[in-house]
Every structure is written in structure tokens, then in C-alpha cells.
Structure 1
Amino acid sequence: MKYYALVALFFVVAYLIPLGGRPLVSPDEFRYAEIPREMIDSGNYVLPHLMNMRYFEKPVMGYWLTAGSFKVFGQNAFALRLPSALGAGLAALLIALLIRQTLRDDKTAALGALLFLTCGLVYGIGTFAVLDSQLTGFVTGVSCAAFLAAMEPKFTRRKVALLVICGVFAALAFMTKGFLAFVVPGLAMFGFLVWERRWKEFLILPWIPLVTALILIAPWAIAVHRADGDYWRYFVVVEHLQRFFSDSGEQHPEPFWFLIPYLVGGAFPAAFLLSAAIPGIRAERKTFFRQPLYRFALCAVVLPFVFFSISSGKLATYILPCFPFLAVLGAGGVAAYFRTGGPYRAFHLVMSIWGALLAIAGIGVLVIAIGNLIPQFSSVRIIVGLLGICGAASGGLLLFSRKYMWRTRFYLFFAGLGLILMVGGWTVTPELLDSKTPESALKALAGELNYDPATAVLLTHPSMIHAIGWVYHRPDARLYSSEGEFWYGVDRAIEAGETPIRMDRDELVDLLMRSNRPEVVIIYRGERDRQFPVDMKPRSAVVNDVRAFVFPPAPAENEN
């Protein structure tokens, strides 16, 4: 149990403790904060809305999880990011359970979980408020349960139970991000069964999971159709078919090879241990892939990766479901490497290189903290200095631990990463990311320009609208001219006779020229002044690359 306790400790230190330490990043984190907040305020947990506009890009499970987190921990950064972190933790737990159930090896099981948690892409997304980490946790559950069910020689109660569990995870994954819940594990299982020459089982195994998933999905699916009959057309046609086949800019078109650097680079710093995994797999090349687990893991990495690469629309986050089984292969390779009983020169060399890099980076960060590069002596300066100390100490210990057993360097590798990630999560400030973290700037502008964000008419650009809605608690804020991602919601609002989020030039002129004009605040990124279609000179100020223009309310007419 001590190995699993170390994994749990790493998860708490590296993932949970720093969650609330940095400001929210625009636009994604504010988007995934505002939707569940509006659910809580409206009591409508069926039909997602963003800034009071219909927003059908994703189903509701991710929003439900965040809304639940808000109700328990309050509406803050920690609560917002917690579902993503728990998604990464769930995937790590499932990896460990899969290896333990298959190989009966606690060390390799714990190592697989640690390798997954120390992949850079996994950490970056797992501590950021998007839905991909939650999806990965649920999809990993589908794949693990399906594989274990396939390994049952007969149709036993255990096999049926595993297939039902597979269906439960499929339902959760579908209600998080759609049909990828079935495509990603389906590709992995199909490839594995073909490799095992058992492809006919692919016609039998999916039925229990499919029925289970449909039973669980049906209540919400029917409810959302009744709430808005266009939901499923938009979700299937636009968000799935067009995203896969379209070359339009809205669907992130990229070349076939686009995801390769993210798969390779996203595996670091865990990939430093490939210095052990690759020789280990090579040493056991005649037997390694005779193990069904590693055959399945290879299929679960390669086939979904090819699928995402074929898709016209690509984002780095799409390939996150490949990483749990990349970690399984890595853990198996590392275990094989250390079974050879050699001098482990490659491992020691890479650990020394990593230690040197950490030491140099830590000293550099410490110099920044001690010097005048951070002008004021503040809590941020102290934390940056502590980060430098952690980096320098971790690197130094790795450098000077070569004479000890390889296990010592192994523990130092993960311990150093955990400390660096824990402290590093608190060093990001609004000044560092400027307008990408506009929360503090928006609060400061309201005080500096003395406008009332609760009553003023607020206008902005699509990239800022989510932050304004969240910070000022104003889902009725408006977009000036551009629609951005709200094009569908705007069209539907106009059809329904509702007030759309967009305000065009003529509407703005009419608003500003009224004799009873309310206070109007226009907020943009960037420090430059802007031209408005009226002969007025608004008050303005800029904070951290966010500028606000304030048109005061029209003066009240004298009753005399």
C-alpha cells in the first residue's frame, strides 16, 4: 500500500494544493465558470446557456460537476478547477487498478499512475478548467472495464458487471463531451481484438455497455430535446460532423502531423524515464507485446491518435485520452529495464541531465527573486524565491545522488517534481499574463473609473465577455458588433424574439444619444484608444492591458 500512498501524496501536493493559487485564464476558464454559475442562478440544469445565450457546444455533465463543486467550495478558482484535477486523478487510479488486476504488480501499477500524472500535457489540462481531463477520466474507465471484460474467458457475473461498469463510464463520458465516449475506446478494443484474432467478439461485447449507457443518458437526452428541439441537430451536425470534416477556421483546421509534437512534448518530464522504458522494451522485445495488456495499451495510444490526426479540426487537448495507456506502456518498459539488473547507465545519465537543468533553472529563478526584477517585496517574491530553492535543491540532490541506488534517484525525481509543481502554482500573477487573467484588472477599473458594474450597460469583445460575465455577475453584458462563438445563440435569440448578446453600431449610437442614457462601459484588451461612432470623449483607464471607456449617464433634466 505504501506505493499507492505515495501516488496519492503526489496527487494532493502537485494537483490539489496549487489549484486556487493562480488567477483564471481568459477565455476558457471564465467560459466554463460562467455556464455552471448561470445554471445555479437560473435553476435550469438541462439546457446550457452562456451569457444568457443558448450554448450547445457540449453536453451537461462537466457543467454539473462544476456546479456541484461551486455549491460545496464556493464560486472560486479552486472549485472551478477541481473537476479537472479529479478527472486526472480518476484516470491515474484506473491505470493503477488495470495494471494491478492484470499483472498483480503493485510497483508497476503505482509507477504507471505516477508517469501519467507527471506528463506535462496531463498536468497542464488537469489543473485547468476545461472538459478534456474529465473526459479522459471517464473514457479511461470505459477502456479499462472493456479490456478486463474481454480478458474474462467465460460469460460470468464478473464479465457482465465489468460491461455494465463500462456502460456507466460511457454514459458519463458522452454527457461530458459527446460521441468520443464511444469512438476512442471502440477503436482501442477493435484493434486489440483484431490483433488477438478475436474480432468476432467485437460484435458481442458492446451491447451491454451500449444499453446501460443509453438507459443513463436517456432522461437528460429527452429533457434537453423537449427544452429545445434544435439541440441534437446542432450538437451532432455542427459539433461532431463539421468539426471532423470541415476546414473552416472555427473548427481549428491543422495538418495531419500537427498533434505529433504535442504527443512527444506533452509526455515530458515523465518522458525522461523513457531512457529506461525504451531499452526495457527492447530487452524483452520477444515477450513484451505477448502480454495482452501491452497490446491493448498500444492500440489505445496509436488508433485514437491516428483518428484525431485524420480529423480536420485539431487541438492539442484532443489527444489527452492517449496518455493513460502511454503511461501503461512506459511503466511496463521501465519495469522491464530494471529487471535486467545492469548498471543502468542510460537512466543515471538522464537523471543527471535533468538534475542539472533543474539546478540551473532554480538558481536563475532565485536570482530573479533576490534581484530587482520583481520590484516590490511581496508574497509573490517570497514564493518565487521558494520555487527557485525547490528547483535548485531538487536538481542538486539528483546530481549528487548517482552513487546511491537507482531507487533513490527514482524517488527524488518524483518528489522534486511534486514540490516544484506545488510551489509553482502560486507564482502566476495577473501582471505576468496581462489581459489573459483580467479578473483583478476588471475589479481595479471599476474602482479607478468609479462606474457601477451592477447597473451600467457593459459592452466588450468576444474574448472578454466571459470574464465580464463572471467577475461582474452580469450575464446580460453585450458584444459590440462581433459575435464570435455566439453566432448560433444570437441567431436563435433573434428567432425567439429575445435580446441578442450582440449590439451593432446603430444600436450603440441610439443608446448613447438618449436623453435618459444609462451609464455605458466599453471594455477591450489593449492599451490603445478606440474610435466610437459618437462625438463624445469618455473617461478611460488601462490596467494590465485591459482598457475601459466610461460614458457617464445623461444628466437629469431640471424639473423647473
Structure 2
Amino acid sequence: MKQWFLKNRYGLTVALVAAIILLPFLGAAPLMDPDEPVYGETAREMLLAGDWLSPRIFGQYWYDKPPLFYWLEMLSYSFFGISDISSRLPSVIMALATTLYVYVQGKELFNKPIAFLSALLLVTSAGFMYIGKAAVTDMTLMFTLTVTMISFYRKKYYIAYIFCGLSLLAKGPVGYAFPALIMLIYLAWTRQWTLMKHMKIPQGILLAFAVGLPWYFLMYKVHGEVFLDTFIGYHNITRFAAPEHPGQNSIFFFIPILFAAMMPWTAALFPTLWRLFKKRDPFRDTLQYCLVWAAFIFLFFSFSKTQLVTYIAPMFPPTAYLLGWYGYRCYIERKFSRPLLLTLYLLGLAVLACNAIPLHEEASFFRPAILWGSCLLAAALFLPAVCLWRHYYRAAFIAGIVTMTAFSWAVFGFIIPQFKDHVTSYDTAQILPDVYDGHSMLYIEKFLRPGISYYSGMYGREWDPVKDPDLEALLQTKDKIFLIMSKSTFHKLAKSQHLIDRFGIAAETPTQVILINHP
């Protein structure tokens, strides 16, 4: 038994660190508006309707995403009941699987030390922690796409095509297009076109479609053209070509997102690229593949007109491999890039400087969170820097892992629960049954509606304070009307539309208010 533990100590360490980071505090805070409740509510309604085919929300069919993550949530609900923990559990399982897969396959792609470093760098990066504990689809896509890309490189083609089909069920056409385009770019760059003869492309396409397309055919058979027009036309083509939120997209949008997501290992990004192109390496071909994989995803979404912070998540595993390789080179060569040390200190100071950022009065609740989070994150930068300066390479790595583990516990166990009132609709949903009469018209601000529906079971009608804030019509309606909105929206309307003052306040929480037109 002792020999077994010694032989598998690297893998056991990876599994232990991943479990310590990802498993605790799943239910410490309610699902956060608006994304987590959207997926939780969709899976809840599908399960209650006994419909495993058609995603639905607010009592209506919804064609925004394919069903793989919903199916995983529905299975979780079936086994453990409907709760915040069971909503997030599928993402956690996918995150654990991704971490362990990166380690196991990294031993084949590189060697055991690089695999070990890469897996731990991945699971302790800030962005991976966040997505791995959130009830959103991105971690499911990350896992399926990671298996696809590594299987292609290792010439495990049938596995690659199966998971390509699962990626199609996880996120839509990008799950099929990304592997094909990444492989084409890699083959063109390395001039290995002869590999295409061995990739079993005809059989693979059929296998991937056999896994991924039946759901699409059944959806088309049941819902017809509206499914294709909405899912393919709007949610894939239109959202790539035109911004969902005009004025909020930029070709540089994902640069700070990547730097923040890879914290505290961000400082090594540029030295890694410099080392990769400056010197030849025994792992050069594998490194080129990882670089193409990561860069393609980053550039694709940088040019997309609709941009959300989680879109580049599938580039985290190949980026972790690149960083793990660089850390290994520093260790065995007993030297590192001097700018790396300076960058660590500067990033640590920049993180601490976030405490000086002036906050609007309505956002002042973030101040304690910024203080605690910045101090722990700065420690994850300063401590490795001190160790590197003294040439304690192993201690530098351990210091980063330990401080980021502490960071994860502080953020998910203490910081987020402290301001749950400001990022969830849980409290409003709890008091709504005591205020709402059960039959009058109920309007809910668009941003809050998923959370209210998930926790109260009341769908209401969507109210958009930007596109349709017709307060006069609501006031003139003879029937009683209830209106739920955030207090920030309420205060903005109070400055621009004094009609809001004629509504009565039926109930309120620290951040939301329930209004009534005829008090």
C-alpha cells in the first residue's frame, strides 16, 4: 500500500487539491443572478414537465443552449433533489474530471512533472475556480473540448469524434467547428498534412453526428423552423456577427479577462511565450499544438461581436500546459526570466491598489470583499516572488498553490455569502408569497426574473427598464399590478421618471423592491 501511494503521489495530490478547492461551499450562497438561475430554472422546469428533449423556461420553450448541461442538472436533481448544491454539482464534477484528465494525459503529452504542474496551475487559477463552481454550461464544454483536442493529438480518433459530438450537445456548432479549425491550423503550421490520411475523417464525421445530431433532428421535428431560426440563426450566427449588447464589445475585451482568469500565474504568460519561441525544445510539437489551441479560441471570441467573460474558458487547459512546461524548465535549469520576478511584484501591488478604486454608493458593499480578496491574491503573488528571488523553486510553487487554496475558501466560504443579498434574488423570492396575492399581474425586471422564478416558482412577466419602462400604463391599469425591480433601477427611474413615486412599496430587501400600482 505504501508503494502504491508513493507511485501515485502526484495524481493523488492533484485529486486532493482539486477536491479541497472545488467541493466545499457549493451551497454557501444562492444561485447568482442572472446566469446561474437561468440554467437551474430551465433544468427544474424540464424535470417537472418530464421533458428531457425541449429546454424550457418561464413555462415556454427556450432555444438558447443545447441540452447536455441541462441533462446533467436534471440527473443531479433526480438523485439529490432541487437545490443550489445539486445545481452546481455537474460543473464541479466536470471541473474535477478536467483537472484529472489534464494530469493523466499530460503524462503522455509531456512527462509526469509537467502534467503535475499543469493540473495544479489549472485548478488553482482564479477563472477555473469560478467556472468550476458555477451552475453554467462553460465547464461542460471545457471538458468535452479538452478530451476532443487531446484525443486528436494523441491519435485516439474515435474518442475524439465521440467527444466532438458531445461538445455539439454542450454548446452547439462551436463544439464541432473548433476542433476542425484548430486541427487545420495546426496541420498547416507544422506541415503535417499527411496526418489527414489516418484521421478516419468519413467515419469520424458520421460518429460525431451520430452522437450530437439526434437531439437537433428531434427538436426540428417537434418545433420546426422556429428552433432553427432561433438556435442556429440568432444564438449562433447573429450573436457572433452582431453584439447582443451594443457598445460592450471590443477586440481587446478578453486581454484583461485572460490576465484575471489565470491569476496568480498570469505573470508567467509572456516569459512562457518568449521561452517557447526563443529556444528549441523536445516538446516543441506538443507546445505548438497547445499554442494553436489556446490562441484560436482567444482570437475567435475576440473578433466575435457578442462577448461574455466565460467564453474563453476552453483555452484554460492548453494555457495551463504551456505554463506548466515553463515552470518545469525553470526548475530543471535553475533559472527564470528576471522580468517574471518584477511582474509578480507589480501585479501584487496592482491587486492591492484595487482597494483605492472609488466605488459608487450602491456598490460600497464590495469594499470588504475587495480587501480580503486582494490581500490573499497579493499573497499568492508576493510569496512565490520572494521564493524565486531566493531560488527556492519548489517552495515558490507550493506557496502559490497553498495561498490560492486559501483564496478559494475565503471567496466561496466567506466573501460571496457576505453579499449574497446584492447578487441574488433569493430573499425577494422568499418574501414574495407573503406579499403577492397569487392572481394579479406580476412584472419582474428582466435581470431578476430567473432567480425569482427558480426560488418562488412564480414566472411573472418580463419587464425591461430600458426597452419598455411604461410606468404610466402600469399605473393607469385598473387591476392591481405587482412590479419587482432592483433598487438601483428604482433610484434611476426616480430621477428620470417621477411616476415611480406613485407606486406603493409592498416589500423590500436590501437591494430589491416589490412595488404595487394601487397601494
Q: How does the TM-score come out when normalised to structure 2?
A: 0.82
Counterpart check, 1:190 vs 2:195: no
Larger Rg belongs to = 1
Q: Aligned residues, how many? A: 495
Corresponding residue for residue 176 of structure 1: 170
Q: Deviations over 1:337-392 (max 9, x none)?
A: 2221348867777777788999x79xx9xxxxxxxx99xxxxxx9x9999899789
Q: Deviations over 1:162-206 (max 9, x none)?
A: 222112211211111101112222222112212232225447623
Secondary structure (helix, strand or coil) at the match of 2:457 reads coil
- Indicate how the Cα distance of structure 1 residues 187 and 91 shifts in structure 2: closer, same or farther if over 3 A, else same: farther
C-alpha separation between the residues in 1 aligned to 2:379 and 2:17?
18
Counterpart check, 1:94 vs 2:101: yes
- Indicate how the Cα distance of structure 1 residues 413 and 357 shifts in structure 2: closer, same or farther if over 3 A, else same: farther
Once the two structures are superposed, the pairs formed by residues 310-349 of structure 1 within 5 Å of their partners are 310-342=303-335
Corresponding residue for residue 459 of structure 1: 443
Among 252, 259, 280, the alignment partner of 1:257 is 252
Unaligned runs of 5+ in 2: 1-7, 356-363
C-alpha separation between the residues in 1 aligned to 2:165 and 2:438?
40
Corresponding residue for residue 306 of structure 1: 299
Counterpart check, 1:214 vs 2:197: no
Q: Deviations over 1:315-334 (max 9, x none)?
A: 23222112211111111122
Once the two structures are superposed, the pairs formed by residues 26-425 of structure 1 within 5 Å of their partners are 26-103=33-110, 105-149=111-155, 162-202=156-196, 205=199, 206-230=201-225, 231-246=227-242, 248-250=243-245, 254-274=249-269, 277=272, 281=276, 285-287=279-281, 291-342=284-335, 405-425=392-412
Corresponding residue for residue 556 of structure 1: none
- Indicate how the Cα distance of structure 1 residues 34 and 468 shifts in structure 2: closer, same or farther if over 3 A, else same: same
Cα RMSD (Å) of the superposition?
3.9
C-alpha separation between the residues in 2 aligned to 1:78 and 1:384?
25
Among 483, 499, 508, the alignment partner of 1:542 is 508
- Indicate how the Cα distance of structure 1 residues 76 and 183 shifts in structure 2: closer, same or farther if over 3 A, else same: same
Once the two structures are superposed, the pairs formed by residues 468-507 of structure 1 within 5 Å of their partners are 468-475=452-459, 477-480=460-463
- Indicate how the Cα distance of structure 1 residues 242 and 404 shifts in structure 2: closer, same or farther if over 3 A, else same: closer
Secondary structure (helix, strand or coil) at the match of 1:524 reads strand
Secondary structure (helix, strand or coil) at the match of 1:463 reads coil
Q: Is the 8 A contact 2:94 2:132 kept in 1?
A: yes
Counterpart check, 1:19 vs 2:26: yes
Q: Which amino acid aligns with 2:513?
A: R
C-alpha separation between the residues in 2 aligned to 1:277 and 1:258?
22
Q: Deviations over 1:449-476 (max 9, x none)?
A: x42576664221211111111111123x
Counterpart check, 1:524 vs 2:485: yes
C-alpha separation between the residues in 2 aligned to 1:144 and 1:332?
16
Measure how far apart 1:439 and its partner are: 0.9
Secondary structure (helix, strand or coil) at the match of 1:25 reads coil
Measure how far apart 1:110 and its partner are: 1.4
Q: Deviations over 1:229-285 (max 9, x none)?
A: 121232111122212222x445776232322232233222122445874675467x1
Q: Which amino acid aligns with 2:329?
A: A
Q: Which amino acid aligns with 1:478?
A: R
C-alpha separation between the residues in 1 aligned to 2:144 and 2:307?
21
- Indicate how the Cα distance of structure 1 residues 294 and 399 shifts in structure 2: closer, same or farther if over 3 A, else same: closer
Q: Deviations over 1:508-557 (max 9, x none)?
A: 579x535xx6xx4321111548789999864433212201124689xxxx
C-alpha separation between the residues in 1 aligned to 2:300 and 2:309?
13
Q: Deviations over 1:476-524 (max 9, x none)?
A: x11247798xxxxxxxxxxxxxxxxx998899579x535xx6xx43211
Q: Is the 8 A contact 2:348 2:379 kept in 1?
A: no
- Indicate how the Cα distance of structure 1 residues 280 and 218 shifts in structure 2: closer, same or farther if over 3 A, else same: closer
Secondary structure (helix, strand or coil) at the match of 1:128 reads coil
Q: Is the 8 A contact 1:7 1:110 kept in 2?
A: yes
Q: Which amino acid aligns with 1:317?
A: T
Measure how far apart 1:434 and its partner are: 4.8
C-alpha separation between the residues in 2 aligned to 1:240 and 1:275?
32
Q: Is the 8 A contact 1:356 1:395 kept in 2?
A: no
Secondary structure (helix, strand or coil) at the match of 2:306 reads coil
Identity %: 22
Unaligned runs of 5+ in 1: 150-161, 365-372, 375-380, 485-501, 554-560
Secondary structure (helix, strand or coil) at the match of 1:522 reads strand
C-alpha separation between the residues in 2 aligned to 1:503 and 1:344?
56
Secondary structure (helix, strand or coil) at the match of 1:314 reads coil
Among 472, 478, 481, the alignment partner of 1:513 is 478
Q: Is the 8 A contact 2:64 2:231 kept in 1?
A: yes
Measure how far apart 1:90 and its partner are: 2.8
Secondary structure (helix, strand or coil) at the match of 1:460 reads strand
C-alpha separation between the residues in 1 aligned to 2:209 and 2:422?
43
